[in-house]
Amino acid sequence: MEIDPELLKAFENLQVSMRPISPEEIAAFDESTPLKERNEKQDHPSYSKIPRFFDPPPKPEDKIRQMLRREAHSMFLQRQAALLPDTDELDEMWKILQDHVDETTEAKDQLMEFDSFIKVSEKLGEKFEMFIRPRLFLTLMVNSPVPGKAEVLAIFKYVTGRVALEHGRIGISFYDEMGQGFLQEADLENYVRDIIPTLAQVSNFLDPLFETFYVCTVVKKFFFFLDPLHTGRIRIEDAIATGMLSEILELRKGEEDQEIHEKQDRNWFSLESVIEVYDTFLGLDKDHNGLLSKEELAMFGSGTLTSVFIDRVFKVSRTYDNEIDYKGFLEFFFALENRDKPPALHYLFHLLDVDHQGFLTAHNLSYFFDDITQHIKSTDAEQVNFQDLKDEIFDMVKPKDPNKITVKDLINSDQGDIVVSILIEYQRFCAYENRDENRQKI
C-alpha cells in the first residue's frame, strides 16, 4: 500500500520533544529499552501553581478508599439536601407571597409587581436565593394575563417544582456510590424499586407480582433514550435535563387533582403506560411461554413488518432458543413507537446497517426493499421501480455524501422515521405511496 506523501512529510516535521534532539542522542537510542515508570512525586515548578484537576476513583481492590469515597459522597449529598427549603419553609413562602399580592383579576388570578417580587426574595432568605431571581419574574411575566406583572401561583409552583427536582437529583445521586455522575442498570433498578412506595399513583395499585416488570420497563426506557450507544450507563444530568426524572417523580402526587389525573395518561412511567406495553407483549406471546418467536414478533403493530427486518432484530438481540424475552422486546417496542426520536433512529439504523459500515448505501436499501417488492407482488399491486424510490430517499435525507446515508444524516433530515418505515413495514410503504390520501398514516 502506498503511503500518502503528505502524511510522510507530516511525520518528518513531527516534534516529539520540547527541545532539539542531538544526533548523539538519536544514535544512542535503543528501541528495546523499556520506558521509565512515571514518578508520581515529580517536583516540577508548575505543580505549585496548577492544581490537580482529576482524581481517579479508587481501584476495586482498594476497599478502604472506596468506603471512604462513598461516605464522603453521602455526606456531601446530605449537606446539599440540608440547603434546600423544607415543607414548613415552603408554606411560609406561600404566606409571604400572599402578603405581597398587588392585584387580583376577575378570574381570581393573583398578580405581583417586580418591586414586590424583590421584597419577597429579601424576606425569604438564603435557601431561596437560587430559586427567586429576577430572571424568574421576567420569564413568568411573559405569560401573565396582565402586562408587567407575574402570577403569584406560578411563582410558587416554579419554586416547589425546582425544590422537588433538586431533592430528586440528590436522591438519585445516592445510588451513584462513587460520585462519578453515572448510573448503571443495577443502580437505576435499585433506585426505582426503592422509590415505588413514594409514588402514590403507582404503589396504590401495583400488584407485587408485577413490580419486577414495572421496574424493568422503567429502567429500559431510561436506558433506551439516554444510552442509545449502549455504553451501559447513563448520566444523571441527562436524566434531569430530558425531564425523565421529573416525569417519574410526578407520580408522587395524589390523584385528587384532575390536572394530575389527566397528566397521568401521558406520563411515560405511569402504571397504565407500563401495563399497556406489557399487554402488547402478552398479546404477541401466543404460546404463553414468556418469549417471542419471529412469527409472533412479526405480528406487532400492523402485522406487515418485513421478514428481513424481523431477522435483523433477532440477529442483534439476545435470544433464548431463537426467541426474545421481555427485555429484548422493550427496545424493539420503544424504537417502533418513537421512530422520529434520535435514540430510535440509532436503533433502527443499526438494524439497517447490515454490513456494519456506519452508513447506508443503495445496496442496503435494495436489500430491505426486496421484501417490500414481494409483498407488492403478492397483492397484484402496481410495481415500484427501486431506482426511483432510492432517488426519493436520498432526496429526502440529503446526505453530505451523495452515495451514503449516515445516522446523523437520517436524524438531521427530519425524515428519518419515514425513510425507515417504508423500508421495514409494508403498510407504511403503501401509506407513503398514497401519501396525498393517507398522510396521517406515514
Residues 24-41: tens digit of each pLDDT: 877 777 777 776 665 555
Can you say how many angstroms the Cα of residue 121 is from the centroid of all Cα atoms in its chain?
A: 35
Can you say how many angstroms the Cα of residue 371 is from the centroid of all Cα atoms in its chain?
A: 32
Residues 76-111: tens digit of each pLDDT: 999 999 999 999 999 999 999 999 999 998 888 899
How would CATH label the architecture of 181-268?
Answer: Orthogonal Bundle (1.10)
* Burial class for 386, CB neighbours closer than 10 Å (0-12, 13-18, 19+): middle
Retrieve residue 216's grid coordinates: 424493568
Give the integer Cα–Cα distance in Å for 293 and 285.
8
Residues 319-372: tens digit of each pLDDT: 999 999 999 999 999 999 999 999 999 999 999 999 889 999 999 999 999 999
Give the integer Cα–Cα distance in Å for 60 and 432.
55
Average pLDDT on 123-143 reads 91
CB atoms within 10 A of CB 294: 15
Q: Does residue 259 carry a pLDDT above 60?
A: no
Q: Does residue 1 carry a pLDDT above 50?
A: no
CB 278 within 8 A of CB 313: no
Q: Give yes or no on whether 181-268 and 285-441 have one common fold.
A: yes
Residues 383-427: tens digit of each pLDDT: 888 899 999 999 999 999 999 999 999 999 999 999 999 999 999
Residues in the chain: 442
- Cell match 419486577: residue? 212
Give the integer Cα–Cα distance in Å for 334 and 348.
11
Per-chain mean pLDDT for the chain: 87
What 421-425 contacts at long range (C-beta under 8 Å, 24+ apart), as own/partner pairs, is: 421/339, 422/372, 422/389, 422/393, 423/306, 423/309, 423/352, 423/365, 423/368, 423/369, 423/372, 424/305, 424/306, 424/309, 424/348, 424/351, 424/352, 424/368, 425/301, 425/302, 425/304, 425/305, 425/306, 425/309
Q: Does residue 256 carry a pLDDT above 60?
A: no
Residues 5-22: tens digit of each pLDDT: 665 566 566 665 656 777
CB 98 within 8 A of CB 152: yes
Q: Does residue 249 carry a pLDDT above 80?
A: yes
Identify the bridge partners of residue 292 per DSSP, sorted by sequence position. 324
Q: Are strands 103-104 and 233-235 parallel, antiparallel or unpaired?
A: unpaired
Q: Where are the chain's structural domains? A: 87-167, 181-268, 285-441
Q: Does residue 125 carry a pLDDT above 90?
A: no
For the 285-441 domain, the top CATH level (class) is mainly alpha
